[in-house]
Chains A and B, each alone.
Chain A
Amino acid sequence: EIVMTQSPATLSVSPGERATLSCRASQSVSSNLAWYQQKPGQAPRLLIYGASTRATGIPARFSGSGSGTEFTLTISSLQSEDFAVYYCQQYNNWPRNTFGQGTKLEIK
């Protein structure tokens, strides 16, 4: 099973600043990686797929990069509604897709 490791576990950032979240795979997943946002009491929402393609309706301040084993989600200028938990998921290894443990983005 491919293990996905996210860092940091918690990230404190001020509104308007940039946030950078990392996700590492235990073996190559090519570009078959997604990022999801989950707010308290809500279902996850797809932000990025294919490592760098924004899903429908996702603001341009969200961007993804990376391939192979190292991936990054960047939020360029944090808005109040962006404070949430973010998960990466690899879907290269079929059918054993796996999630990272999550990064909580909190207000500094």
Chain B
Amino acid sequence: EVQLVQSGAEVKKPGESLKISCKGSGYSFTSYWIGWVRQMPGKGLEWMGIIYPGDSDTRYSPSFQGQVTISADKSISTAYLQWSSLKASDTAMYYCARRVDTAMITYRAFDIWGQGTMITVSS
């Protein structure tokens, strides 16, 4: 079964650091990009950034550039999203999702999603 399994919910204090994970299984991890999507409480989906685990090529939305770091370890089929100093406004559900690496743009939708990781930042 193809799946992305994310790490569990976290409760952190402002200023703390955090790294959450997304592990792929059932497919060739290096044939797909892994994207991260934020969903603040009661709100819509926001595209944060994306990484290609094959060579760690990483792109960010301007809104999230410098605020988070996306990385991957292809040897264990896992992508990461990390913060160096959390803020209360980082409280949200974070999803990872995959999309195929292809020159054919029409196929580049996110076809498999992780279950989400809820991050709560509160003093």
Binding site for B on A (CB under 8 A): 1, 30-32, 34, 36, 38, 43-46, 49-50, 53, 55-56, 87, 89, 91-92, 94-102
| Bound CA–CA A95/B37 (angstroms) | 13
Known contacts A1-B62, A43-B116, A95-B59: does B110 contact A34 (CB below 8 Å)? yes
Could you name 24 residue pairs across A and B whose Cβ atoms are closer than 8 Å? A30-B105, A31-B106, A32-B108, A36-B45, A36-B110, A44-B45, A44-B97, A49-B107, A49-B109, A49-B111, A50-B107, A50-B109, A55-B109, A55-B111, A87-B44, A91-B108, A96-B47, A96-B62, A97-B47, A99-B37, A99-B45, A99-B47, A101-B44, A102-B44
Please determine whether A95 and B50 come into contact, CB atoms closer than 8 angstroms. Answer: yes
| Bound CA–CA A31/B120 (angstroms) | 37
Q: State the Cβ distance, B33 to closest chain A Cβ, in Å.
A: 9
Please determine whether A44 and B113 come into contact, CB atoms closer than 8 angstroms. Answer: yes
Please determine whether A34 and B45 come into contact, CB atoms closer than 8 angstroms. Answer: no
